[in-house]
Structure 1
């Protein structure tokens, strides 16, 4: 919790010193609209992730076993852990620094730099620095594309809340089915599945990694095209520039 507080204070300082803005510029202060964005983002991505798991179950012929005793305390702890983790990463990669990059460089450069840093960060956070190059490139590609879509969402909504919902929802849903530290296989455990190799493995994992983010990007763009008040803002993230 102290780390989050430090990030918020540093973010506030950077925004004030460089752009003469306050922390509200990144849409972190809760409001009715932002809370709805957060909930919609979390529920939406959990449904998409569940669909992705269903497809994986069909393709790999996975046999799932329902945990004999579901630990609801662990599920709550997992929610809190992943909320804190997602908020920390979103403040670092899709908070003040992204806001500053967009204003000082351009929207495209800001989104690309944020996404690339997010991708490279996951190589270290997953402990893959000594992994095969194909594994490293795969992780960078998947997480970079995901980071780009979430950064795009931040730019369009002028708030971290919708992206934060996406981030929390996908991480939380995966802990219900897959091994993860410190929480994993909270509800189901795979007891058997088909193993893919070579190009089949690569093709399926590219689909598995990209599918939720592609659907997310399509849905966000569709929502914006219909000018839904819940998502679109009257002002762009760039200082004093109005969206046309």
Structure 2
């Protein structure tokens, strides 16, 4: 929680000093329109993540079983962990810094810078430095996803759509399918076999390349661009 408070405080300070604006320009106010954008984003990413998890289960010939030992408090704790980590990343990569960049150098360069920074960040967060193939694929996947989420911020004038897209993926991946750092959660993989080299590549490319491009297509063609007059009133 401290990290979020620090990120919010730094965001407020940067906006105040550089643009003479407040946090309102980030579109964080949970009015119905923004909540709808958040919910749609969450649902789209959640469905995409579910499809990827079942693709992996199919390739492994494994099953997903319910974790009977899981407690509701554990699920809530995991959700809160996902919520905090996602919000912190959104404030860093799709928050005040992106807003200021857009005002200073325009949207095209700003979105690209945000995407590159997000891709490089995941080299470190996923621990793939030195593995060239993994670095390239992760940079493409997280970079494209980062670009899509940055574009969502730019088009809606709000952080809530990218936040929903981001949280939907992380929550399903980490809390529902137990793929995160917190260990076994709601569903646990049972049985199956190790993926062959080609099946492993197919699974990896599907999750890290195909899905990000599908999200980008959604944001590009199906998310309406709002005008600047809507920046602070919706």
Name the CA distance, whole Å, in 1 between partners of 2:61 and 2:159. 37
| 1:98 equivalenced with 2:98 (yes/no) | yes
Offset from partner CA, 1:218-240 (integer Å, 9 cap, x none):
2233323xx5xxxx4232899xx
Q: How does 1:198-213 map to 2 (within 5 A)?
A: 198-213=197-212
| 1:222 equivalenced with 2:221 (yes/no) | yes
Q: Which moved more, 1:197-206 or 1:167-176?
A: 197-206
Q: How does 1:1-244 map to 2 (within 5 A)?
A: 1-129=1-129, 131-175=130-174, 176-182=176-182, 184-224=183-223, 227=224, 232-235=225-228
C-alpha contact (below 8 Å) 1:119/1:143 kept by paired residues: yes
Residue ranges of structure 1 left out of the alignment (5+ in a row): 239-244
Query: Which aligned runs of 4 or more in structure 1 are off by greater than 6 angstroms?
Result: none
C-alpha displacement at 1:161, in angstroms? Answer: 0.2
Q: Which moved more, 1:19-28 or 1:141-150?
A: 19-28
Name the CA distance, whole Å, in 1 between partners of 2:29 and 2:5. 14
Name the CA distance, whole Å, in 2 between partners of 1:162 and 1:112. 18
Name the CA distance, whole Å, in 2 between partners of 1:236 and 1:114. 24
Q: Which residue of 2 aligns with 1:242?
A: none
Closer, same or farther: CA 82–23 of 1 in aligned 2, 3 Å: same
Q: How does the TM-score come out when normalised to structure 2?
A: 0.88
Name the CA distance, whole Å, in 1 between partners of 2:45 and 2:227. 26
C-alpha displacement at 1:61, in angstroms? Answer: 1.9
- RMSD over aligned CA atoms reads 2.2
**How many positions carry a matched residue from both structures?**
230
Name the CA distance, whole Å, in 2 between partners of 1:41 and 1:109. 24
C-alpha displacement at 1:33, in angstroms? Answer: 1.5
C-alpha contact (below 8 Å) 1:46/1:169 kept by paired residues: yes
Q: How does the TM-score come out when normalised to structure 1?
A: 0.85
Offset from partner CA, 1:3-43 (integer Å, 9 cap, x none):
21221121122122222222111112322211222122112
Name the CA distance, whole Å, in 2 between partners of 1:99 and 1:193. 46
Secondary structure at 1:69 match in 2: coil
Offset from partner CA, 1:119-169 (integer Å, 9 cap, x none):
11112122333x422122222221111111100101000001011011111
